[in-house]
Chain A
Amino acid sequence: MMDQVRIIEIQKSVLDNNDQEAERLRKKLKSEKTFLLNLMSSPGAGKTSCILRILEKLKEEMRIGVMEADIDSSIDAERVGRSGVEAIQLHTGGMCHLDAAMTEQGIEQLDTENLDLVILENVGNLVCPAEFDTGAAKNAMILSVPEGDDKPLKYPLMFTVADLVLINKIDCLDYFEFDIEAVKERIRRLNPSAVILEVSARTNEGFDLVADWFRENVKQWNGES
């Protein structure tokens, strides 16, 4: 008797399991006619404020739920809950991103069969959330003016996976060296199909176009067989 050693080639992505889980969740939501949007940004870019503006525009015409993911606290869910829309808080317990399994746990707490749109507010972070498919129909990200126009160069994956990019806090453009045309060009180089919209959650500027993007995408998602 002797030990036998050999090497086997695997070439398997460790993230495959998450990708499969995400695909399964996407199909389930598709069959329930629920459009899940994964919203990402760095901390303080204005995710919750933008969500509140979007809810103002859309809550009378579609059934919406919001999932707030944070490492701790429930302040975001409370803010959103005050707008009259169902909001739940997910605590990631130190995790820097949401994966498909955590998203599904949140989805189970919402009655998604009776919702047209669910907005998932991911953990504030431009790195890891871009890497993990949550099972969402579309990804959106917010870049705020004070963060600087170099962010697409520093976090290329985030801008590559985003279907919608909101440039927020444009009411502050005069106070920062932020070249909005340069930023758009940098995003287009990485992701020519991304829709880029300029907004201000403070002044409500630009949210008519954001609401149109949601209407169009929710309709497309729920209408396709």
Chain B
Amino acid sequence: MHELSILMGMVETAEQYAREQHADRITGITLEIGEMSSVVPEYVEFLFPDVTEQTMLEGASLTIKRQPVCVACRDCGQVYEWRKEKYRCPGCGSESARIVSGRDFMIQSIEIRREDGYDGSGQDH
């Protein structure tokens, strides 16, 4: 059970990016969670309101995308979705593979809001 500490890291990272953009609030966040990451999306949803309370993310909408586990075949080099292909290279039939994606817990994007006149160019007027 480590979703709580990981989510605190998420808040920190998102706030840092939002501040760089002089935003007042973060109104939405999209996370990408790898299927081989031990982060459980249901817990993330459950903990999100409490973890974001009194932060720039308070009240933000949460979108979670799953990232499938992709591997590269060690024999022929083909990259394929591991589970979908039943753990066997669709090209050559080899079961020897190196994980290339599906381990991540990423912030894909944030939606930020600035409450004065602001054209989104990054320039203050």
Complex: A99 Cα to B8 Cα, angstroms: 14
- Closest-CB distance, B9 to chain A (whole angstroms): 5
* Chain A count of residues within 8 A CB distance of the other chain: 33
Q: If A6-B120, A14-B13 touch, does A190 touch B110 (CB 8 Å cutoff)? A: no
The answer, yes or no, to whether A9 is at the interface (CB within 8 Å) is yes
The answer, yes or no, to whether B111 is at the interface (CB within 8 Å) is yes
The answer, yes or no, to whether B55 is at the interface (CB within 8 Å) is no
- Closest-CB distance, B28 to chain A (whole angstroms): 8
The answer, yes or no, to whether A54 is at the interface (CB within 8 Å) is no
The answer, yes or no, to whether A82 is at the interface (CB within 8 Å) is no
* A12 and chain B: residue at smallest CB distance: B107
Complex: A12 Cα to B108 Cα, angstroms: 7
Complex: A155 Cα to B87 Cα, angstroms: 14
Q: Is the CB of A96 within 8 A of B74?
A: no
Interface residues on B, range: 35 or more
Which of A18, A131, A188, A189 sits near B103, CB closer than 8 Å?
A: A131
Complex: A2 Cα to B118 Cα, angstroms: 8
Q: Is the CB of A14 within 8 A of B6?
A: yes
Q: If A4-B119, A192-B74 touch, does A12 touch B113 (CB 8 Å cutoff)? A: no
- B residues near A (Cβ < 8 Å) are 1-2, 5-6, 9-10, 12-14, 17, 21, 27-28, 36-38, 74, 95-97, 99, 103-120
- A residues near B (Cβ < 8 Å) are 1-18, 94-97, 99, 127-128, 131, 156-157, 160, 188-190, 192
A/B interface sample: 24 pairs, CB < 8 A: A2-B117, A5-B27, A5-B112, A6-B120, A7-B110, A8-B21, A9-B109, A10-B13, A10-B14, A10-B106, A10-B109, A11-B106, A11-B109, A14-B9, A14-B106, A15-B6, A95-B2, A95-B5, A99-B5, A131-B37, A157-B36, A157-B103, A189-B95, A192-B96
